[in-house]
Structure 1
Amino acid sequence: MNKHTALILFAHGARDPRWAAPFQRLQKMTQESLPDCAVELAFLEFMTPSLPELVSDMVAKGIQKITVSPIFLGQGGHVLRDLPILIEQLNVTYPDLDMQLATAVGEQESVLLAIRDYCVSLA
C-alpha cells in the first residue's frame, strides 16, 4: 500500500462512547502495521465520522484507493443492505476513486478461529 491508499474500519456505532474503545485499539494496531496506509474508523450511526464524511475528507487529502472493511461478525442487514447503498452513493459522488468493499470480518476463517481459541481458553 502507499500514501494514496486507505483502509476504513467500518463499525455500527453506539450511543455510549465507551463502546468504541476496542475499535479504536484495533484502528491503532492496524495503523501501526500499515504505516504507509491511512487507517481510520467510520461508523454507520450514532458516532462520527460517518462513512461519507470520512471518504470526503480522504479524497480531499488525495487518497485514491480505499478499502472498506466491515468490522461486523456477520453479513447481517447493515452489511447486506445499508453498506452497499452507501458504497454505491460514494462511487457516484467520487467516480475516480477506487473503492473496494471487503466481506464482514467475522466471515473470515482466521477471525472465527481466534474467537474459538479465546472461548476454548475459558473452559
Structure 2
Amino acid sequence: MTAPALIALAHGSRDKRSAETITQLVDATKALRPDLRIEKAFLDHAKPGFHTVVDRLVRAGFDEIVVVPLLLVEAFHAKVDVPELVAEATTRHPGLRIRATEVLGLEPRFLEVLDERLREALSVNRVRELDALVLAAAGTTDPLANQAVARLARLWGAHHKLPVSAAYASAAPPATGEAVRAFRAQGRRHIAVASLFLAPGHLVDRASELALEAGAIAVSEPLGAHPEVARTILARYAVGAVELVPV
C-alpha cells in the first residue's frame, strides 16, 4: 500500500529568498525520507499553490494526503485558511482523504536551532559577551499565539540565565527596537536578537533593521532548512498518516 503523500504547506512571501529556503527545507525532508512523495505548496504569494499540488498528486494516483502547515504559531492561517483549503480539495476530489496536522509550532527543541543560528551571528560579529536576549517573532492579532512566543522566550532565557524579551514584527508590541531600547535603558549593552522565523522575508528584515538601529550587537538568521525542522515535519506527518488509517 502506498504511503500518503506529504504536502509541506508554507505561508509564502513575495521575497524570493523565502521560497528558496522552503525549497531547501523540503529537500532536506526528502533526504530523510526518500521513500515518501513530498511536495511543497504555498498559501499565498508564491507558487505552486495548494490546489495545484493536490491536483498533481491526484493525477499521480494518490488518494491520501497529509498536509503539514509550515507555521510556527496556531493563529488565523492555521485555524481558518488551512481547514478551508482542505475542505475545498475534498469537495473537488471525491474520495480523496486529506488530513491537516498541527502546525510545526514552537517546539522547545527549536531553541537548539535558535542557539546555533545565534552563535553564527555572534561569531560573525565577534561578540563574546551577552547580557540580554530578544526573541523576535512575526506577531499576530491572536493573543494566545503571542503568549506562546512569550513562554518560549522565558524558557530560552531560563536556559541561558539571561533576561529575555519577546518582540514582534507586526500586529503586537513590543517591536524589536523597543525591546532592545528597554534593555538598554536598564544599562544593558550586549543585547542579541534571535529570529524566530522559518524563512527570510520583509518581516525578518524589518525586525533586524529596527533591532540594529536600537543598538543590538547581533541578529541571527531565521531557522531555515535545519535538520531539526525537517525532522519535525516528518514527526507531524507520522501522526497525520496514522490518523488517516480507518478505525
**Worse-superposed segment, 32-41 or 61-70:** 32-41
TM norm structure 2: 0.45
The alignment status of 1:116 with 2:111, answered yes or no, reads yes
Q: Any unmatched runs of 5+ in structure 2?
A: 119-129, 131-247
Deviation at 1:78, TM superposition (A): 0.9
- What is aligned with 1:81? 80
Deviation at 1:120, TM superposition (A): 4.4
Q: SS state of the match for residue 108, structure 2?
A: helix
Residues 77-102 of structure 1 show CA distances to partners (whole Å, capped at 9, x for unaligned) of: 11101111111111111121121110
Q: SS state of the match for residue 105, structure 1?
A: coil
**Worse-superposed segment, 60-69 or 14-23:** 14-23
- What is aligned with 1:20? 19
TM norm structure 1: 0.86
Q: Any unmatched runs of 5+ in structure 1?
A: none
**Worse-superposed segment, 96-105 or 25-34:** 25-34
Once residues 82 and 59 of structure 2 are traced to their aligned partners in structure 1, the CA distance between those partners, rounded to angstroms, is 22
Deviation at 1:119, TM superposition (A): 3.5
Give the direction of change, closer, same or farther, for the CA distance of 1:47–1:94 in structure 2 (3 Å limit).
same
**Identity among equivalent pairs (%):** 30
Aligned residues: 118
Once residues 55 and 77 of structure 1 are traced to their aligned partners in structure 2, the CA distance between those partners, rounded to angstroms, is 22
Q: Runs of 4 or more off by more than 3 Å in structure 1? A: 118-123
Q: Which has the larger radius of gyration?
A: 2
- What is aligned with 1:35? 34
Mapping of residues 92-111 of structure 1, within 5 Å: 92-106=91-105
Which one-letter code corresponds to 2:109 in the other structure?
A: A
The alignment status of 1:59 with 2:58, answered yes or no, reads yes
Superposition RMSD in Å: 1.8
Residues 51-101 of structure 1 show CA distances to partners (whole Å, capped at 9, x for unaligned) of: 011101110111121100000001111110111111111111112112111
- What is aligned with 2:7? 8
Structure of greater relative contact order (alpha carbons < 8 Å, 6+ residues apart): 1
Deviation at 1:113, TM superposition (A): 2.0
Once residues 22 and 71 of structure 2 are traced to their aligned partners in structure 1, the CA distance between those partners, rounded to angstroms, is 11
